[in-house]
Amino acid sequence: MRPLVFIGTTNLDIVFYSENLPAVGQSLMGSIEEFGGGKGANQAVAAARLGGDPQFATMFGEDDAADALTRGLADFGVKTGKIQRKPGAASGKSLIFVSSKGSNMIGIDAGANEDFSPDDVRAALDDVPQDAVVVVEMGLPVEACRAAFEAKGNRFLIFNPAPVRAQITEADCRSIDIITPNETEAEELTGLPVTTVEEAFAAAMHLHDRGVAGVAITLGDNGAVYLDANRRIHQSAYPVNAVDTTAAGDAFNGALATAIAKEQEIDDALSFAVATASVSVTRKGAQQSMPTDQEVRQFLAQQGAY
């Protein structure tokens, strides 16, 4: 298996569960729970649960949340040696509203995540082998993302442009082996509508034409599409009863990276990633919702897909 490294954000997720999402001026009764979160951390945990043995580079503050988040990541099997702490800073936090139908609204206080610098990225990659699979997400400052592109070398780079903080240049595109936006992010990056599978393929071709080697766009109930120079794949969604969709995209990215690190073919990797996301939304929380490799394979077998 190829080495697997995630570079991204970590947050303490404070999650409010209620029947409906709040309207402006509305007060709701519900319940509050706290979970480890942040896109990079969620993706690393997904990979660890799936047998990926990932390293994770991120920036915490110096607070109690940092201690709890580090312990949580280690308990899930994530290698924490590349985690740094910013003196005097607070760790990132997210406030998440989740309805009974699984839809959500998220507000983020980035905290120490914003202090993750290009030099920190270069240091994190310095001892990473050239055959590694590296996953970077756009919750980091854009300059840090670009440092990962520039330091890529011969590593396989997956870029999750979430949230879209800036447009990517053609030089950026040429460094990306697979980009993984959802439909909203694909629209922001291309200026094209992405409301159907065919529109998703058109947006994927736009990104491919700009230099991205492979494009995987997640489409919620429509599954995902993938396009590169040789293939055009639509992976249908698997039917589930969603409880909490907070980290579905992170489950997809962690699973896709793990499957590629295990050198699976892209069609199998795509099916595995969609299945992982499908299982994750049937559970509360972000990191706690990530399934094991065995659970995903059992799910695929039940779907007649494995």
Which of 246, 225, 243, 242 is closest to 234 using CA atoms?
Answer: 225
CA 225/CA 152 separation, integer angstroms: 25
Give me the sheet containing 224-227, strands edge to edge: 83-85, 55-60, 4-7, 133-137, 156-160, 178-179, 214-218, 224-227, 232-235
Residue 19 to residues 36, 198, 215, 281: CA-CA distances in angstroms?
Answer: 23, 34, 36, 17
| Active-site position among 109, 127, 250, 267 | 250
Cβ–Cβ under 8 Å, residues 11 and 38: yes
CA 264/CA 266 separation, integer angstroms: 6
Cβ within 8 Å of residue 298, ≥6 positions away:
none
CA 98/CA 108 separation, integer angstroms: 15
What is the four-CA torsion angle of 285, 289, 290, 291, rounded to 10 degrees?
Answer: 180
> Reduced to 3 states, what is the DSSP secondary structure of residue 100?
coil
CA 98/CA 246 separation, integer angstroms: 8
The DSSP output letter for 229 is: S
Known catalytic residue at 119: no
> Reduced to 3 states, what is the DSSP secondary structure of residue 136?
strand
Cβ within 8 Å of residue 170, ≥6 positions away:
210, 211
Tally the residues of the chain: 306
Neighbours of 196 (CB within 10 A): 12
Residues identified as active-site: 250
